[in-house]
C-alpha cells in the first residue's frame, strides 16, 4: 500500500544577506545552510494497518508525511503509494488520500461548512448520489448536522476537527494521513475522535498513519508504532515491544515525616531509588512489573509517609533520551 | 473544460467568501479607484499645460495608461494570489493546495479573489474618452476597437506571465516582494507612459528583460499611429503566448523545489 525506500530530505536554505534590497541580493547569493530533516528512512505499510508515527518536535515527522503526500519531493529515495510516486504523479495519488493537518483546516474558512463539501465533491468529481451517501455516513459517525450551516471560522476546535475529518473522507480514500488530529482538544472531544478513527479503521478498513504527541492516541489506536528521532527511524514494531525495550519508568516521589535510615534495601523488589534529598525519595519503577501500591507498601517500612507524588512516564521524553 | 468549470466554481466560492465582509470590500474598491484617479489626474493636469510629450498627445497617453490598467485588472482579478505567493511560501500554506487533486496554480489563482471594480470602471471610462477624442480627430477608425480588445487580452496574459515568473522565483528566494516591486510594479508604472520618454537602455529592458512594453506601447504604435504594420499586433500576441509557455515551464520547475515550512 505504502512503500518507502531509503528516503532522505535535505533542506538547503540560502543565507539571506541583511540590509537594503536583501531580497534582490539573495538572488545572487551563493551561501547556503544545509539541514538533514529525514535521513534514509524505509518502511512499508500494508492495507488496513493503523500506524502511529511518533518522535520529538523537529524529528522529521511532518517532513515524512509531506513527502508521502506529494507536498515535498524527497532529496533521495523513492515513495510509492499504491505503486505510484506521489511527487511524479501527485494529482493521481492524492485522489486516493485523505489528509488532515491538525494545525490547519482544509475547509473554506468564511463559508458555511456545507459549501466546503460541495466544492470538494466537485474537485474529486463525486456524483451527487455518492456525496449524499458519504455525508450521511459521516453525519452518523461525527454528528455534522449541528454545524452544517455555520461558517467554518465560527466552529469550535472540536467541531472543526470533525468537519475536517469528514472532508478528508468524503472522496472515500483508502489511506488517511493524520498529522496531530487531537491537538488542543479537550478530553471528551479526543475520545470522540479516537472512537471515530477506530471505527473507520476496523469497520471501513482504512489504512491510517497518525502522528501525535498524545501517547493515549497511540496506545488506544495503533497496532504498530514507528519512532523517528533526528531524522532517523529509531524503532518500528509493536507497542508492547517498544515498552519492554525502553522500560517506561513511572516516577514516584515520596516524602517522609522523619529522617530515613542510612541504608535502604529494596530486597529485590523491581524498583530503584533514583534520588534522595533530605526527607524526600525519588523512586522509579515499571508498573508492568510492580503495582505502585506495592512500592509504597515496601518503602513505608523505612518510615511514615507524609506525601506521595506520582508522575506518569512522558513517553516522548524517554524516547528522546533512549535514542 | 472540466478545468474551466472547476476554476469558475473555486472563483465563485472565493468571491462568496469575500462578500462575507461587504463593507471592507466596498471600502477597499473605492479607495483603490480613488488613488488611481488621483494619479492620472495629476498627469492630465501637467499634460494640459504642455500639450504633449515627445509627440504623444493626451489622448494617446490616456490610451496607453488605460489599456495597461485594464490588462492589469484582468490579470489581478483572475489570478489574485499569484502576486501574493510570498505568504504561501513563508507560512507553508501551499501545503493545503498541494494535497488536492487539482493543479496548484489553479488553486492559487482562485484564492482570495479580489474584484478590482474601481480599476475596471476607471480604465473603461478613460479608454472610452480617449477613443472618442481619437475617433473625432480621425486618427483611428472603428477597427481599432476590436484590435484594442485583443491588445488588452494579450496584455493581461503578458502581465500574468511576468507575475508568475516573479512569483516562481520565490521557490528559491522565499521572499519575493523586492523582486516583484521591480518586475511588476516599477515596470508597469514605467510602461503607463510612452517608452520614447526613456533612455535607450531602459527602453531595451522594458522590451526584453521585463517585456511589459509589448502589452501596450508596441501595439499602440500601429493602432494609434499606423507605424510599422499590423504585424505588430501579431508580435504582441506571440510575445504573450511565448511568455506564458516559459512561465508555465518555470512554475513547474519551481514547484518541485518547494520546501514548505516547519510544522
Q: Which ipTM score applies to this complex? A: 0.85
CA distance B152 to B144: 12
The three-state secondary structure class of A217 is helix
Asked if A213 has any chain B CB less than 8 Å from its own CB, the reply is no
B9 vs chain A: nearest CA distance in angstroms? 7
Say what the pLDDT of residue A51 is.
96
Distance from CA of A219 to the nearest CA of B (A): 23
What does the pLDDT read at residue A19? Answer: 67
Minimal-distance CA residue of chain B relative to A177: B99
- Mean pLDDT within B2-17: 92
B56 Cα to chain A: minimum distance (Å): 35
In whole angstroms, how far apart are CA A304 and each of A285, A296, A309? 20, 11, 15
Point out the residues of chain A with pLDDT beneath 50. none
Dihedral of CA atoms B218, B223, B227, B233 in degrees, nearest 10, equals: 50
Shortest CB distance from B13 goes to which of A24, A57, A115? A115
The closest alpha carbon to B255, from B80, B76, B107, belongs to B107
CA pair distance B42, B19, nearest whole angstrom:
33
Give contacts of B 175-204 with A, CB under 8 A.
Answer: 175-179, 182
Give me the pLDDT at residue A285, please.
Answer: 83
Report the residue count for chain A: 323
Cβ-based contacts of A69 with chain B (< 8 Å): 98-99
- pLDDT tens digits, one per residue of B181-227: 999 999 988 998 899 989 999 999 999 999 999 999 999 999 998 88
Set of chain B residues whose Cβ sits within 8 Å of the Cβ of A58: 262
User: Residue B48, SS3?
Assistant: helix
Determine whether the interchain pair B13/A69 forms a contact, defined as Cβ–Cβ distance below 8 Å: no
Over residues B26-72, the pLDDT tens digits come to: 888 788 878 877 877 887 787 777 777 788 888 898 899 999 999 99
- Scan residues 65-104 of A and list those with Cβ closer than 8 Å to B: 66, 69-73, 87, 90-92, 94-95, 97, 99, 101, 103-104
Residues of B in Cβ contact (< 8 Å) with A63: 260
Annotate A153-221 with DSSP letters as a single string.
Answer: GGS-HHHHHHHHHHHHHTT--SEEEEESTTTT--HHHHHHHHHHHHHHHHTT--EEEEE-S-HHHHHHH
Q: How confident is the model at residue B263 (pLDDT cuts 50, 70, 90)?
A: very low
Interface check for A32 against chain B (CB to CB < 8 A): the answer is no
B103 touches chain A (CB under 8 A): yes
Q: What are phi and psi of B74, to 5 degrees?
A: -65, -50
- Decide if A121 touches B, using CB distance below 8 A: no
**Interchain CB contact of B252 with A (< 8 Å):** no
Expressed in angstroms, the distance from the first to the final Cα of chain A is: 28
Domains of chain A: 47-244 (3.40.50.300), 248-322 (3.30.70)
Mean pLDDT of chain B: 90
CB pairs under 8 A between A and B: 97
- Quickly state the pLDDT bin for B131 (edges 50, 70, 90): very high
Amino acid at each position: 500500500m505504502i512503500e518507502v525506500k531509503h528516503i532522505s530530505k535535505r533542506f538547503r536554505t540560502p543565507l539571506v544577506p541583511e540590509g537594503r534590497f536583501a531580497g534582490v541580493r539573495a538572488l545572487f547569493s551563493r551561501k547556503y545552510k544545509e539541514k538533514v530533516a529525514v535521513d534514509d528512512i524505509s518502511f512499508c505499510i500494508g492495507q488496513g494497518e493503523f500506524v502511529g508515527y511518533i518522535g520529538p518536535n523537529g524529528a522529521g515527522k511532518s517532513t515524512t508525511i509531506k513527502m508521502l503526500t506529494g507536498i515535498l519531493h524527497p532529496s533521495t529515495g523513492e515513495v510509492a503509494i499504491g505503486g505510484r510516486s506521489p511527487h511524479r504523479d501527485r494529482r493521481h495519488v492524492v485522489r486516493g488520500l485523505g489528509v488532515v493537518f491538525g494545525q490547519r483546516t482544509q475547509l473554506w474558512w468564511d463559508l458555511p461548512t456545507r459549501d466546503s463539501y460541495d466544492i470538494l465533491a466537485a474537485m474529486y468529481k463525486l456524483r451527487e448520489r455518492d456525496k449524499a451517501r458519504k455525508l450521511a455516513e459521516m453525519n452518523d459517525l461525527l454528528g455534522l448536522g449541528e454545524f452544517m450551516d455555520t461558517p467554518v471560522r465560527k466552529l469550535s476546535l472540536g467541531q472543526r476537527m470533525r468537519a475536517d475529518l469528514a472532508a478528508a473522507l468524503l472522496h472515500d480514500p483508502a489511506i488517511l494521513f493524520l498529522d496531530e488530529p487531537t491537538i488542543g482538544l479537550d478530553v471528551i472531544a479526543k475520545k470522540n475522535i479516537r472512537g471515530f478513527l477506530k471505527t473507520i479503521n476496523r469497520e471501513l478498513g482504512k489504512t491510517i498513519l497518525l502522528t501525535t504527541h498524545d501517547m493515549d492516541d497511540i496506545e488506544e489506536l495503533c497496532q504498530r508504532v514507528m519512532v523517528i528521532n533526528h531524522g532517523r527511524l529509531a524503532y518500528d514494531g509493536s507497542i508492547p515491544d517498544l515498552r519492554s525495550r525502553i522500560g517506561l519508568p513511572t516516577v514516584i516521589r515520596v516524602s517522609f515525616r522523619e529522617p530515613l535510615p542510612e541504608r535502604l534495601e529494596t530486597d529485590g523488589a523491581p524498583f530503584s531509588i533514583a534520588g534522595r534529598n533530605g526527607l524526600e525519595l525519588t523512586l522509579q519503577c515499571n508498573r508492568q512489573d510492580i503495582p505502585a501500591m506495592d512500592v509504597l507498601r515496601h518503602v513505608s517500612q523505612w518510615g511514615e509517609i507524609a506525601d506521595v507524588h506520582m508522575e506518569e512516564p512522558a513517553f516522548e521524553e524517554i524516547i528522546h533520551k533512549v535514542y | 473544460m472540466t478545468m474551466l468549470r472547476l476554476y469558475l466554481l473555486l472563483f465563485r466560492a472565493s468571491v462568496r467568501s469575500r462578500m462575507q465582509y461587504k463593507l471592507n470590500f466596498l471600502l477597499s474598491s473605492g479607495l483603490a479607484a480613488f488613488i488611481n484617479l488621483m494619479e492620472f489626474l495629476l498627469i492630465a493636469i501637467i499634460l494640459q499645460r504642455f500639450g504633449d510629450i515627445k509627440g504623444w498627445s493626451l489622448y494617446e497617453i490616456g490610451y496607453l495608461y488605460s489599456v495597461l490598467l485594464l490588462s492589469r485588472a484582468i490579470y489581478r482579478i483572475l489570478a489574485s494570489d499569484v502576486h501574493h505567493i510570498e505568504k504561501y511560501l513563508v507560512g507553508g500554506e501551499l501545503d493545503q493546495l498541494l494535497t488536492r487533486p487539482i493543479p496548484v496554480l489553479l488553486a492559487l489563482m482562485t484564492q482570495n479573489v479580489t474584484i478590482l471594480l474601481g480599476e475596471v470602471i476607471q480604465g473603461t471610462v478613460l479608454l472610452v474618452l480617449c477613443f472618442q477624442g481619437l475617433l473625432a480627430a480621425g486618427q483611428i477608425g472603428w477597427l481599432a476597437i476590436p484590435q484594442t480588445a485583443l491588445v488588452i487580452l494579450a496584455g493581461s496574459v503578458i502581465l500574468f506571465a511576468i507575475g508568475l515568473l516573479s512569483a516562481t522565483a520565490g521557490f528559491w528566494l522565499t521572499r519575493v516582494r523586492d523582486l516583484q516591486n521591480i518586475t511588476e510594479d516599477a515596470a508597469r508604472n514605467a510602461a503607463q507612459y510612452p517608452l520614447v520618454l526613456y533612455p535607450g537602455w531602459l527602453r531595451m529592458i522594458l522590451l526584453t528583460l521585463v517585456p511589459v512594453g509589448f502589452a501596450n506601447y508596441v501595439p499602440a504604435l500601429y493602432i494609434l499611429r499606423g507605424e510599422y504594420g499590423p504585424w505588430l499586433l501579431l508580435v504582441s500576441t506571440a510575445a504573450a503566448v511565448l511568455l506564458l509557455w516559459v512561465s508555465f515551464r518555470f512554475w513547474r520547475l519551481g514547484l518541485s523545489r518547494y520546501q514548505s515550512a516547519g510544522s
